[in-house]
Chains A and B, each alone.
Chain A
Amino acid sequence: MSIIEVNNLTKYYGKARGIEDVSFSVDEGEVYGFIGPNGAGKSTTIRLFLSLIYPTSGEAKIFGKDINQHGVEIRQEIGYLPSEVFYYEGMKVLDLLKYSESFYKKDCTKRMMELAEIMELDLKRKIDDLSYGNKKKVGIVQGLLHSPKLIVLDEPTSGLDPLMQQKFFNLIREENERGATVFFSSHILGEVQKMCNRVAIIKEGTVINIQDIKSLQKDNYKKIRIEAEGLDEKRFSVEGVNNMVKDNGSINFFFKGDINLITKLISEKEVEDVTIEEPTLEEIFMHYYV
């Protein structure tokens, strides 16, 4: 079953583009990455899911229910961590979390305490006195305390130190193993690579590619580096080669296609060194943005 189903979703802010014709679907139990640079439309998409804003056209369903008509029911089962967290000042952490808890039908006190302990959150402190990183922890506890079926993360790691990031990712993995579906928006590719099964790449408001992480890394591109004297880069100007860079006796390029074609071309010449490796997600990503 699809947990999220988006069909031709479009949002304009007046004349300004938010997202255009976005379609994808997220299966139950998946950790789905949503990557793109700032301003690509990631937060717009998420805010549409949460009915903070309403679509210009197209539709989206979460748990099989239309977001415009069943927002309240849907939000009962969503845990959301925004990219920046802001809270009412003058409240204690515990009061804020209890306030959060009061909106959900189930009793979440036990889970709330567990999460606070994992994230090393001091419940007695006042929100105003917390550092940004600590406010983010409050956000994590608040987003997960009701054991939601769908966890929506918008650039979740900003402001967390590496140790907390690790704890956070472990927590998300546990939630995922429990059965929660995760929608993970980020522009940091390393974390998406680490966490996600599939990824949608969004650029200038449009989803330009949807792939599973493995095929994105393995099946498509090879990163090839050849070192040799008097190398003529035209030799390698065959179909499937791109981003060719020549510098100081070596050439670098990405190749997509039958690898034998390239090895044959290489073997015809005397070379000093050859490396063929998997491109990182960053490099693949760069490719989509060239």
Chain B
Amino acid sequence: MSTQANLHLKLHVWRQKNASDRGGFVEYDVPGVSSDMSFLEMFDVLNERLIEKGEEPVAFDHDCREGICGMCSMVINGQPHGPKRGVTTCQLHMRTFHDGQEIWVEPFRSSAFPVVKDLVVDRGALDRMVQAGGFVSVRTGGAPDANATPISKVEADLSMDAAACIGCGACVASCKNGSAALFLGAQVSKYKHLPQGLTERHERVANMMAQADLEGFGACGNQAECEAVCPKEIPIRVIAEMYREYLRSTFTGRAIGKQDRKRT
């Protein structure tokens, strides 16, 4: 472990008053940053100083600060969640940077993620896609017997790897095309490998894909940049699985969309 050190950093932070403001970079000189701080704690220090000076603090998203809630965002020196693999911004420590380093901090960029203020973007589009996916049929009543529904270890692991998605949207932010394919793939894949998820498999994938297009996400270019920046290291295997599910549901004629159900 590195011993604690004080860093003097030069930050270029995207400041934008509201959604209609043009926005631009503001330079901040930040001395006295402990190398043991997280990136968000460094922003807390900066904001305290800004408040003391009577300036508007930098708005940024955060919640659990434990790397599991998916709230924190920020593109740090051209990489969502910063330069370390498999971590969120809140778990990125300042020891990753060196004294005197210039750091550019930008919001997640996607036409489906409008900037609310500064580094805060509206990621509601991801929630609306989950909503479009609909429900999972579950029998209510008495608790089922343990092991009454056998699931192989392999399938359970594949499902769990996909379910690790925290919905932060780094995949979209990293994608040249602003595609949400990795997020969507994770949602489809986590159900696909479990018997409980198979009842609605056809309409789920069709409705989620349709919603992704409506929200204005781009199309996947198979560049795997999302896989490389995902803090939960979800593989692009889930994207191929989503495509298989979509092709299957389309060409078996069972991709019953919400609109079709209304007609009958």
Indicate whether A and B interact. Answer: no
User: What residues make up the interface of B, taking CB atoms closer than 8 Å to A?
Assistant: none
User: What residues make up the interface of A, taking CB atoms closer than 8 Å to B?
Assistant: none
